[in-house]
Structures are given as C-alpha cells and as structure tokens.
Amino acid sequence: MGSDLDMAQLRVFVTCTRSGSISRAATALGHSQPALSQQLRRLERTVGQPLLHRAATGVTLTKAGEALLPYAERILALSTQALGATGPAIQGHCGVGLLEDLTTAPLPQALADFARMNPRATLELISGPGPVLREAYGKGRIHLALCDPSYLPEPPRWTVRLPMAWAAAPSLDTTLDPLPLVLFSQPCRWRQPLLDSLEAAGRGWRTAFESTSVPGVRAAVRAGLGAAALLPATVEPGTAVHGLPALPDVELGLIRRPGTEGDTLVDAVEAILKRLA
C-alpha cells in the first residue's frame, strides 16, 4: 500500500460488511449508494485488491476483505477512544451485557482498550444468551446491554439489524437433502426464522447437532457435522458458504438502565457499542 488508510472509507467498508449490502449501509450512514460505492472503490485502490464480492443479494468479504476487517474495526474503535481520552477523566463502574455472539467480534477488545486508556474506570463484561443477561440485569449488574431486546424489561434506546450468514466446513456437501444443521439449543429466538427460511425455499433439513454456546456451534461446524447460521463476525475463515437459501436479518437493541443518564462512563461505553454494533 502506497498511502494511508482513510477513516471515512474504513467506516463505509465496515458498515457494508456488517449490514450485508451497500444499500443498507447507505441508509445507516445517511449517504447515497453511489457515494458509498465510490468510497469502497477508493479504498480498494489503496489496498490494491478487491475487498467485497458484490451480488444482487448483497456483499460478502473477499480474502483481502477478511484480512482487513479486524484492522478496520480496531482503527475505528481506537479513534473513538482516543477522542474520549482527551476529554475529562472518566471514572466509575459500568457493567456491560453482550450477546455471546458478539464476544468474538471487536467489541471486547475495544472495551479492553477503553479500560486501559481510562484507569479510573472499571468495566465488567457479562456475556451469554438472553436469559443469562436478563438475570444479571435484574440483579443490577448491567448498566448497558446489547442483545435481543425482548429479554429485558426496558425498551431499547436504539436497534440495529444484522444479517446472518451460512457457515460450513469445506468437507460438508451442502447439496445434501435433507441438509444437516448445527443449531443453537432452545430457547433461541433466531432458530425458527432460520428454519422458516429453509422451508420457504423448499429445502429439507435435519438437526445434526445442537449447542448452547457459540464455541460449541463453531466446533461442530469445523468438524463437518452440518451448516450453521451465524452472525458474520462469528463465521470462522474458510467456513463461509454461498448458495444456500437467504437468511433473515436479526435485530439487536441497546438497553440502558434507568438513572444512568448523564453518567460520563456509561455515555462513553454506549458510544463504543453504537459505533461497533
């Protein structure tokens, strides 16, 4: 690369990747689709190779895109934290609840970086499925939660829709009928929409493996037991699959405990979550 990476172009790239399409990213960023496409082309010229596969159904990462994504996310997170670090000293305690699927994304690293840059602040990260976060919220341990908002009593301050992506080991024959699936155990609110999408496409399926955790699902995928629907950030390199029925988006919401308005620490952590969600 012969020049520096442009922050605005990186933000467009990350937003397109997370939303799964340039049009949805344009809506999220408040810009036109042609303007975003131009930004992406400039970034690809800087990097020297394509970053996204473009199709009528959306965009997916190329190998170069997979390599750049974690760096782009980290650069954007550090920019947010650096701006915060130049302001008044931040102190106090903030409990953050994250859906387990998000703990493989850059959010935990961004929170760790923030804590390191603000030594008078203490963060507690609590991850797990919806019922676990509901229990922790009820005990007062969580000030902010980014998860399926239906599990918590407060309405979300803001929501974000994320695409799901298919993952399978290269050894798995995805033309099998019925298609073997690796599923999250119940309760899982995303499970039935996934099965409905397969049935709507006339695709037979069978449950090959179930797990209550993201590591368990990914291990079963690596072992070739079946295909799984995951958030793009949790799809391991080499396991992305194309050609299966389109998957529904899922909705996450940010819930903030009442009484935390004006808390500088909680405000700063929410800004990180909103930037990287």
Closest CA to 13 of 102, 78, 76: 76
* pLDDT of 106 over the 80 cut: no
CB 161 within 8 A of CB 249: yes
> Among 72-76, 77-81, 138-142, where is mean pLDDT lowest?
77-81
Note the pLDDT tens digit of each residue in 172-217: 999 999 999 999 998 888 899 999 999 999 999 999 999 988 999 9
Q: What is the pLDDT of residue 104?
A: 75
Decide if 7-81 and 165-248 have a common fold.
no
pLDDT score of 229: 95
Q: Output the average pLDDT for the chain.
A: 88
* Residues constituting the chain: 277
Q: Return the higher-pLDDT residue of 127 and 116.
A: 127
What whole-number percentage of the chain has pLDDT above 70? 95
Token pair listed for 187: 């309760």
Checking if the pLDDT of 1 tops 50, the result is no
Check the CA dihedral 85-87-88-93 and report its sign: negative
pLDDT band of residue 28 (cuts 50, 70, 90) is low
* All structural domains of the chain with their residue ranges: 7-81, 90-161+252-276, 165-248
CATH of domain 7-81: 1.10.10.10
Q: What is the pLDDT of residues 40-63, one digit of tens each?
A: 999 999 999 999 998 877 888 999
- In this predicted model, what pLDDT tens digit does every residue of 147-171 receive, in sequence order? 999 889 889 999 988 889 999 999 9
Determine the CATH number of domain 90-161+252-276: 3.40.190.10
Assign a CATH topology to domain 165-248.
Answer: D-Maltodextrin-Binding Protein; domain 2 (3.40.190)
Please check whether residue 126 is in contact with residue 107, taking contact to mean a CB–CB distance below 8 angstroms. Answer: no
